[in-house]
Amino acid sequence: MKIQFESGTVNYLDQGAGPAVLLIHAFPLNHTMWQPQLATLTSRFRVIAPDVRGFGESGPPSPWTMEEMANNMAEFLDRLRISESAVVGLSMGGYISLPYYSQYPQRVRQLVLADTRARADTETEKAARTDMIAALEQGGIAILPGRMIPRLLQPDPSPDVVRLVREMIETTGVSAAIHAVAAMRDRADSSTLLRRLQCPALVIAGQNDLITNIEESRAMAESIPGGRFVGISKAGHLSNLENPEEFNRALAEFLL
């Protein structure tokens, strides 16, 4: 399904009935990464899963910030006449979810932060993202699977998951990838926001996540009043794809 805005077209999935759940995908993937969650969620919820600008079939790609994307998500939900939802963001999706809560707390029923960070990048991490932008400008999207898959997935990953992730990455346009890396590099620190969260919140992390350390994720949950933490075994950064059974169980128990 697609909606036309001044900034471009948003492609999205809209399935199920009940309280709304907004799923915001990771970099450099698209909304289809949530496929393993649909059967569990759509039996009780209306699941809304958009492609972030430039990813999947949303476009055209253009520069954006996390705050701007949060506003885009609010405008998108307005068009669907959804005033309140649970928000589930994984990795980059979490980076968008936090400023979304900051700007629209009354619209967030529950918040799930999966394999993500509240803090800003360190100078070393910013430099690595700048290097990635330069590599993308020089080598195109073809450089991304080799760089990203070993970090996104646990050691010795499932060949089926590798193939799925590779296919999603290869459909991403280089301009969209560059704009997203810049947005992640330049995002504001949201650490102090955690202590001000007033909705129920769950932090999920793959136990073999090479990008967001599981202890850092646990500390995030401890910073949130009443925050919960669930570690997903046999999973890396894309814990929803590598161990969907445990991920879905954690999600369902929290959202219900």
The predicted pLDDT at position 111 comes to 98
Give yes or no for residue 166 having a pLDDT over 90.
yes
Angstrom distance (rounded) from CA 13 to CA 117: 26
The predicted pLDDT at position 7 comes to 84
Q: What is the overall mean pLDDT for the chain?
A: 97
Contact in structure between 232 and 205 (CB atoms under 8 Å): yes
What digits encode the pLDDT tens for the residues 125-164?
Answer: 999 999 999 999 999 999 999 999 999 999 999 999 999 9
Classify residue 153 by its DSSP letter.
S
* The Cα angle at residue 52 between residues 149 and 39, in degrees rounded to 5: 75
Comparing CA positions, the residue from 53, 42, 66 lying closest to residue 9 is 53
Give yes or no for residue 60 having a pLDDT over 90.
yes
The verdict on pTM exceeding 0.75 is yes
Number of domains in the chain: 1
Greater confidence (213 vs 237) lies with: 237
Q: What share of the chain in percent tops pLDDT 90?
A: 98
Strand pairing report for 46-50 and 8-15: antiparallel
Give yes or no for residue 6 having a pLDDT over 90.
no
CATH of residue 184's domain is: 3.40.50.1820
Q: What share of the chain in percent tops pLDDT 70?
A: 100
Contact in structure between 22 and 48 (CB atoms under 8 Å): yes
The predicted pLDDT at position 91 comes to 98
110 pairs with which residues across the strands?
86
Domain range for 63 is 2-255
* The Cα angle at residue 208 between residues 206 and 213, in degrees rounded to 5: 75
The predicted pLDDT at position 84 comes to 98
What digits encode the pLDDT tens for the residues 176-225?
Answer: 999 999 999 999 999 999 999 999 999 999 999 999 989 999 999 999 99
- Give the number of other Cβ atoms within 10 Å of residue 162's Cβ: 15
What's the token pair of residue 16? 């199920």
Strand pairing report for 8-15 and 2-5: antiparallel
Give yes or no for residue 34 having a pLDDT over 90.
yes
Judged on CB neighbours under 10 Å (0-12, 13-18, 19+), 88 is buried
